[in-house]
Structure 1
Amino acid sequence: MSVRALWNDVVLAESADTVVVEGNHYFPAESINREYFTASDTHSVCPWKGTASYYTVTVDGRQNPDAAWFYPEPKSAAEQIRDRVAFWRGVDVVEN
């Protein structure tokens, strides 16, 4: 099964190797199309996963601030999402 992350009819990421945590597919970092991502200054903290960092997604000049997140240094309980990226804020994640 392959999973795609889509926004504004553009594939942001695609992989058959996602990890699902709390209902979110975490894509391998190498599966994202980097041209659409810019680092954000936003961070949030999850008690069991650690501190998340965010990307703003830009497609055809339209921005979706903080639409993707990742844990650069996840806590040991969330080690399976190291080097992986998840999506929200209108990004469609579709299983094929």
Structure 2
Amino acid sequence: MVRAIWNGKVIAESADTVVVEGNHYFPRHAVNAGYLRESGKNTFCPWKGQASYHTLDVDGELNKAAAWFYPEPKPRAKHIEDRIAFWRGVTIED
């Protein structure tokens, strides 16, 4: 089981993650949506497409744009569609 932990809370947990470029992408249903807030941030990857970001809100502490996903990934990245990855101090335990 792989877990994403930040500020002492399990943000996501799943045995079904996909690793791309060293990042675990969790199925959206395995992420605690109560910790996610829209961030308005977007970036672009040439082979994955446009990424959107969530800010984590755990016990009033914010970790801005610490979770990202590809709402409409390019064909080569379809395997991460509807999955979320983390960074910015989020610990991944497996």
TM range (shorter): over 0.9
Match of 1:30 in 2: 29
Match of 1:61 in 2: 60
Encode CA deviations 1:34-69: one digit per residue, 9 max, x unaligned: 110011110000000000000000111000000000
Q: How high is the TM-score relative to the length of structure 1?
A: 0.97
How many angstroms apart in 1 are the aligned matches of 2:37 and 2:59?
A: 14
| Matched residue SS, 1:78 | helix
| Matched residue SS, 1:30 | helix
Structure 1 stretches of 4+ with a deviation exceeding 4 A read none
Match of 2:75 in 1: 76
Encode CA deviations 1:17-40: one digit per residue, 9 max, x unaligned: 000000000000000001100111
How many angstroms apart in 2 are the aligned matches of 1:15 and 1:22?
A: 18
How many angstroms apart in 2 are the aligned matches of 1:41 and 1:8?
A: 22
User: Unpaired runs of 5+ in structure 2?
Assistant: none
Aligned length: 94
User: Unpaired runs of 5+ in structure 1?
Assistant: none
| Matched residue SS, 1:48 | coil
Match of 2:7 in 1: 8
| Matched residue SS, 1:79 | helix
Q: How high is the TM-score relative to the length of structure 2?
A: 0.99
